[in-house]
Amino acid sequence: MKTTTTSSVVRFSLNFECFSSDDSSRDNPATQRGLQCERSLANEVDTWIRFALKKNVKVLELDFAACCYFDLESYHTLPNFVLTGDSLTKLDLACCCIESKRQQIHMKALTVLILKGNDSGLKLEMFIPYVASLSISGSIERAELKDGSSVADGTLDLDHNFCCTGVQHASVKKLMEKLQQTKTLTVWALKNFPCPSSDWKSLCLRMKLTKWHLPGIASLLRNSPNLEMLDIHIYYSDPAEEGYDDSLMLPFGFDEENFWNMQRKPFRCLKRHLKTIRLNGSLIERRVIKLAKFLLMRAAVLEKLFGPEGGSIVVLQGS
């Protein structure tokens, strides 16, 4: 916890450290002791937060990730007043729930909002007209952006269980439509996802690239006609882990080997606007090479290609 001794608090940061145990089941004595300790601290934590808000804290960072052993029962439940602090300019919440049955974020001064793994099973309504930077990870299909007219930098990190079902797709599509005017969008783990049209100038993709990401990438590119910079970071993907996706995504099957060669519809951004491409991470996998080849062949006005560790290649038109 970091505070100051003056009449106001600039930054309040709370980060729980987790005990280690070889057996993390609920019946394990060490786990039970840890959970009991956290429950006993709950009231004290709320008291600290209330103190910071009374001191007109500007930055509030609450990270309970170390407490989330199993399910929502182990999430710390925050009092509803956390979402109503008018002095806050930055709110960063990780792995916690809000006690209110109707969850709303309505803050007048807030400019940065970061939500990581916060899931109470309820919709989270966000009225954030002055927020310029928005980052949501976990079950983002529960997030409903009522007013985000000032968001310029958005990050969406889809939960690893996101499989583009009808309800999930409709919710996330609506959220992305609300963010279509942002200048930069960062997306993690986009799978088989048809995207709405947008005016993004910069797009960052972070993922373990599997077969099922290809349609989502194609949809993003096709529906980002004014895209000027594309940043792709590929994390290593164990082929043995992809069987899980195959069983769930079977109805959406397609020919991966010829996927990029079969893209006949035009990509306006590749033809007219994409000037910079950054490629980093695990780039030696076959599907990654195919993606890179497609981008280089189709990007008609490409000027610079940045490789791993910041290395760059100047692309000469007509060469």
DSSP assignment of 31-79: HHHHHHHHHHHHHHHHHHHHHHHHTT-SEEEEE-GGG-SSSGGGSEEEP
Structural domain contains residue 164: no
Same domain (yes/no): 308, 264 = yes
Structural domain contains residue 292: yes
- Give the Å distances, CA to CA, from 161 to 10, 61, 72: 37, 26, 16
Same domain (yes/no): 29, 147 = yes
Same domain (yes/no): 39, 125 = yes
pLDDT at 197: 78
Same domain (yes/no): 280, 188 = yes
Rounded to two decimals, the pTM is: 0.72
Q: Which of 119, 151, 183 is the last residue of a domain?
A: 151
Same domain (yes/no): 220, 87 = no
Q: Which of 151, 183, 205 is the last residue of a domain?
A: 151
pLDDT at 38: 58
Question: Closest Cα partner for 181 from 204, 155, 220, 151?
Answer: 151
Question: Closest Cα partner for 148 from 181, 102, 123?
Answer: 181
Instruction: State the DSSP string of 80-128.
Output: GGGGG-TT-SEEEEESEEESSSSEEEE-SS--EEEEES---SS-EEEE-
pLDDT at 19: 46
Same domain (yes/no): 21, 146 = yes
Category of 117 on φ-ψ map: left (φ > 0), alpha (ψ -120 to 50) or beta: left
Please state, in angstroms and rounded to a whole number, the distance separating the CA atoms of residues 124 and 274: 35
Same domain (yes/no): 186, 116 = no
Please state, in angstroms and rounded to a whole number, the distance separating the CA atoms of residues 56 and 114: 19
Residue 197 exposure: Cα atoms within 13 Å on the Cβ side: 5
Q: What are the phi and psi torsion angles at 166 (to 5°)?
A: -55, -50
Under a CB-based contact definition with an 8 Å cutoff, are residues 313 and 307 in contact? Answer: yes
Same domain (yes/no): 292, 226 = yes
Please state, in angstroms and rounded to a whole number, the distance separating the CA atoms of residues 137 and 165: 18
Structural domain contains residue 161: no
Same domain (yes/no): 181, 290 = yes
Number of domains in the chain: 2
List of the chain residues with pLDDT < 50: 1-4, 19-24, 69-70, 243-245, 248, 313, 315-316, 318-319
Structural domain contains residue 166: no
Secondary element (H or E) of residue 206:
strand 202-207
- Domain carrying residue 277: 175-319
Q: Which of 117, 151, 185 is the last residue of a domain?
A: 151
Please state, in angstroms and rounded to a whole number, the distance separating the CA atoms of residues 293 and 285: 12
Same domain (yes/no): 146, 250 = no
**Core vs surface per residue 205-232: b (16+ CB within 10 A) or e:** bbbbbbbbbbbbbbbbbbbbbebbbbbb
Same domain (yes/no): 134, 267 = no
Same domain (yes/no): 189, 52 = no
